[in-house]
Amino acid sequence: MPEITVRAMTDAEFTAWQHALARAYADEQVRSGNWAPGEALRRAREGNAALLPQGLGTPGMLLLTATRPDGEPVGRIWLSLEHPRGTADCAFLYDIEVEEPHRGQGYGRALLTAAEEAARSRGRSALELNVFGDNATAIALYESAGFVVVQQQMRTALTRDRTTARPPPSSGPPTGARSAVNSSRSPKRGTRGPYRHPHGRRRGQRPPAIHHREAAVLLHAR
């Protein structure tokens, strides 16, 4: 795992990161069918502003830049010391991102380790994050790092010609309803091997960054 140091973002870094983050999150929501293209960027910016009302100085938020030993920035971390749903002693990782030239070199795991240590050193006993359900590369990283699924959002298309669809069960949510599914899977052990950073993309190099709030899978680690 490459050596990195994390520090607070500068004002200039924060401004550039906010724009890039909003664009990337909006694109993820459009690809997932959650938001219409014409409103996605506005909604992403509004969501970020609500979470960071005081920008870099928002209490409880850590906005960090990761650098190599020579000082070159390689990535960014957005970590909240307070869970958005009030889970006690649990930090929440809103965003983790590796700069394009440094992807595929292990910096993703280095940033994730740095985020865990930042939360631990501030008295938190657990860390959670969201990831889109089709982001297999990122999910593999998080599972190998000890994250387990605690909630999963599911969806089906309700087309008129679904003649092969099975009838809904006698109990539980109807077919097509969104539902939360608890999983008791234990974290995998012995799987912290070589890793292609979560921004090593699939299907046209799509980044599996943890863009906050409304992704499909909620992961938890202690």
| Confidence check: pLDDT of 37 > 60 | yes
- Per-residue pLDDT band for 14 (boundaries 50, 70, 90) equals very high
CATH number of 5-156+174-221: 3.40.630.30
Interval 15-32 mean pLDDT = 93
DSSP labels, the chain:
----EEEEPPHHHHHHHHHHHHHHHHHHHHHTTSS-HHHHHHHHHHHHHHH-TTGGG-TTEEEEEEE-TTS-EEEEEEEESS-TT--TTEEEEEEEEE-GGGTTTTHHHHHHHHHHHHHHHTT--EEEEEE-TT-HHHHHHHHHTT-EEEEEB------TT-TTPPPPPSSSSPTT---B----PPPPSS-------TTS-BTTTB------SS-SEEEEE-
- What confidence score (pLDDT) does residue 40 get? 97
Q: What is the pLDDT of residue 134?
A: 82
Give the domain ranges of the chain.
5-156+174-221
Per-residue pLDDT tens over the stretch 99-147: 999 999 999 999 999 999 999 999 999 999 999 888 888 898 899 999 9
Tally of residues, the chain:
222
Q: What is the pLDDT of residues 48-83, one digit of tens each?
A: 999 999 999 999 999 999 999 999 999 999 999 999
Q: Does position 7 have pLDDT exceeding 80, yes or no? A: yes
Model-level pTM?
A: 0.73
Rounded to the nearest 5°, which phi and psi values hold at 56? -60, -25
